[in-house]
Amino acid sequence: MAVDRDRVGVLVRELLVAIGEDPDRPGLRQTPQRVADAYADFFDGVGRDAAAPLSRTISVSQGPAPDTVPSGAVMLRDIRFRSMCEHHLLPFAGRAHIAYLPGEQVVGLGALPKVVDILAARPQVQERLGEQIADTIAGALDCRGVVVVLEAVHQCVTMRGGKQLDASTVTIAARGEFADPVARAEIMALIGRDGV
C-alpha cells in the first residue's frame, strides 16, 4: 500500500496549526508536501514482502561453484539502515550484521540488505526489526541458523527524555543453531572485529 501523500500533507498542515505555527508563512508553505514525500520514502516497506529478495537462491552443490561449498557461516557486516520509531515517529539509524549457516541453498549477498531495507521502512522498534529480519531469512532460506545484530542510535533517546547523545542500542536475534550462545560466540567475535 502506497503512502497517501495528499492526506499526509493535509495532516501535516493541521499539525503545524496545532503547534501554533502559521503553515502559510514562507518557510513552511512547502513543508506539508515535503513531509509527505519524505514519509513515502520512510514507509516504503509497509505492505511489501520482505522475503521477495530471497526468492532467487543458488544451489551450493549444483551451482556455478560446487567446489566452494561453505563449511561455516556466511556473514555480511555493516549494512546501513534507517527506520522510524513507532512510538515517537523519530528516526533511528545504524548498522545491521547478519550471519547464516547455509543448507543446500545460498542467496546473493545483495539480497540481505534488501530484506533489511524493506523491514526497516515501516514504523518499527529495533527489537522487533531484528526478530523480523531473522524470521524472514530463516523462513525463506534453507539454513541451519541465523543471527542478526542491530546497532542503532535513536533520536527519541538523543533528542528527548534523557538526551543521551552518545547512547546506542544493540539487539540480537538468533534462530536455529545460533540460538545457542556458545554456537554464536565466534560469529559475535567476528562482528566485533574491525577487519577479518
The pLDDT, as a whole number, for residue 196 is 42
Strand 123-124 relative to strand 74-85, pairing: parallel
One digit per residue, the tens of pLDDT, for the chain of length 196 reads: 689 999 999 999 999 999 999 999 999 999 999 999 999 999 999 999 999 999 998 887 776 665 665 668 899 999 999 999 999 999 999 999 999 999 888 899 999 999 999 999 999 999 999 999 999 999 999 899 999 999 999 988 888 877 788 889 999 999 999 999 998 898 999 888 664 4
Q: What is the 3-state secondary structure (H, E, C) of the chain?
A: CCCCHHHHHHHHHHHHHHCCCCCCCCCCCCHHHHHHHHHHHHCCCCCCCCCHHHCCEEECCCCCCHHHCCCCCEEEEEEEEEEEECCCCCEEEEEEEEEEEECCEEECCCHHHHHHHHHHCCEECHHHHHHHHHHHHHHHCCEEEEEEEEEEEEHHHHCCCCCCCCCCEEEEEEEEHHHCHHHHHHHHHHHHCCCC
The pLDDT, as a whole number, for residue 161 is 74
Options 3.30.1130.10, 1.10.10.10, 3.90.550.10, 3.40.366.10; CATH of 56-192: 3.30.1130.10
For residue 139, give Cα distances in angstroms to 52, 94, 100, 144, 190.
12, 24, 12, 11, 24
Options 1.10.286.10, 3.50.50.60, 2.130.10.10, 1.10.520.10; CATH of 5-41: 1.10.286.10
The pLDDT, as a whole number, for residue 69 is 58
Report the binding-site residues.
Answer: 85, 88, 156
Report the binding-site residues for Zn(2+).
Answer: 85, 88, 156
Residues 6+ apart with CB under 8 A from 83: 91, 92, 93, 120, 121, 122, 124, 126, 129, 152
The pLDDT, as a whole number, for residue 20 is 97
Domain extents in the chain = 5-41, 56-192
Contact 101, 125 (CB under 8 A): no
| Domains 5-41 and 56-192 in one fold | no
pTM (two decimals): 0.90
